[in-house]
Amino acid sequence: MADSRASFTDLSATPADRPVYVVGAGPGGLAVAYALRARGVRAVVLEKSDRVGASWRRHYDRLRLHTTRRLSALPGLAIPRRFGRWVARDDVVRYLEKYAEHHGLEIVTGVEVFRVEKAADGAGWLLHASGGRELTGAAVVVATGHNHTPRLPEWPGAESYEGELLHASSYRNPKPFEGRDVLVVGVGNTGAEIAVDLVAGGASRVRLAVRTAPHIVRRSTAGWAAQYTGIVVRRLPVRLVDRLARPMARLSTPDLSAHGLPRPEAGLYSRVRQGAIPVQDVGLIDAVRTGKVEIVAAVEGFEDGKVALADGTRIAPDAVIAATGYSRGLDSLVGHLGVLNERGRPTVHGARTPKDAPGLYFTGFTNPISGMFRELAIDAEKIAKSVARRLR
């Protein structure tokens, strides 16, 4: 196992002796730590939970990577073939554990970093962490994850709802919802997959509340993974990709307009650039076509214990699962440094550092069409190269 007892650097250490601190022991943080170590740079990973891959351990049981095994490996270690083409959640966790062990990464668990600021000597960064710790590093890589803090809308009247209301982050499997009427709010990949999971698990009725119809793509067509297309088109002009995607969508996915899911007017890649990743079909299309998942209007709030929808209807499900996304949770950590945009996301990522915060790096805060794990691996190498050059 990775060393959870790694020593901290004393504040009196000279700049040359200071490690690079990596905040977060998810796939992004682990990849950066390995890439730094491979270049002879000491990297110490700080993880607030007691194990690596904490966010992956919390995901729902059904989850699999939507990217292929071969294109999801982190630098320096392939994902075992026995995990299959679409790697399951538990196997992702096993891989991350093996990755940390295989590379002998220096990981300190049970330490949460609350605030990052420039060191007094101007030659590094000061981290304020749990237990009153103050740690000084030569550089800092923030890898706390895209899905950090569950975001539950402040729906008016929610306190009047007598059913069960939970965020998708608390959903594990359909067993607690067997025989129940469930409304899933949000039609991103998480909401779509939970809706399908509930149908398979015996929920008596499953409805999916949709505000903006998503682009839906097949995860794989005749062996060609959607990820491959994402890699091919990622550097092409947005308008060109939008034009190419329209006829491909008509050929590969049926028109679900009659079931409440019309084809989006905005182009696929235009939506991606706005942060809306296409929904990969893992059963949603068939479930909608057969009426097993019913599409309803967006949720506006709650009235008299019922759910109020945007089209004026009122429904009374037994449970509401809000697949309404996450916030990055970076404001208290680095918001005072002027490195976040209006949406609370880093203004730069990968090898680039903010103009007024040299030596501060971010990874894992984008949601690329070409695959998160793939881009984390690429970013790790770029960050390590930049850090090594800076320290020299």
354 and 296 part of one domain:
no
Give the residue-averaged pLDDT of 108-135. 94
Residue ending a domain, choose from 298, 322, 346: 322
Please choose, from the candidates 162, 155, 152, 167, the residue with its C-alpha nearest in 3D space to the C-alpha of residue 304: 162
Number of neighbours of residue 295 by Cβ within 10 angstroms: 17
Do 193 and 88 touch, CB atoms closer than 8 A?
Answer: no
The helix or strand, by DSSP H or E, that contains position 181, with its residue range, turns out to be strand 181-185
169 and 266 part of one domain:
yes
Question: What pLDDT score does 8 carry?
Answer: 53
> Could you tell me how many residues make up the chain?
392
| Mean residue pLDDT across the chain | 93
Please choose, from the candidates 216, 209, 214, 213, the residue with its C-alpha nearest in 3D space to the C-alpha of residue 153: 209
126 and 269 part of one domain:
no
> How do residues 134-151 score in pLDDT, each as one tens digit?
999 999 999 998 777 899
CA gap 210, 297 in Å, rounded: 5
Give the residue-averaged pLDDT of 13-25. 82
Residue-range definition of the domain harbouring residue 221: 150-322
Residue ending a domain, choose from 299, 322, 345: 322
The helix or strand, by DSSP H or E, that contains position 106, with its residue range, turns out to be strand 106-109
Question: What pLDDT score does 170 carry?
Answer: 96
Residue 308 lies in a domain: yes
Give the residue-averaged pLDDT of 236-249. 92
* pLDDT above 90: residue 1: no
154 and 184 part of one domain:
yes
* pLDDT above 60: residue 349: yes
Residue 27 lies in a domain: yes
Please choose, from the candidates 45, 169, 58, the residue with its C-alpha nearest in 3D space to the C-alpha of residue 112: 45
Residue ending a domain, choose from 322, 341, 361: 322
* pLDDT above 70: residue 12: no
Give the 3-state secondary structure percentages of the chain, helix then strand then coil, rounded to 5. Answer: 30, 25, 45
Question: What pLDDT score does 276 carry?
Answer: 86
118 and 235 part of one domain:
no
Give the residue-averaged pLDDT of 218-228. 91
Residue 32 lies in a domain: yes
308 and 379 part of one domain:
no
Q: Which residue has the tokens 């049926």?
A: 254
203 and 249 part of one domain:
yes
Q: 355: domain CATH number?
A: 3.50.50.60
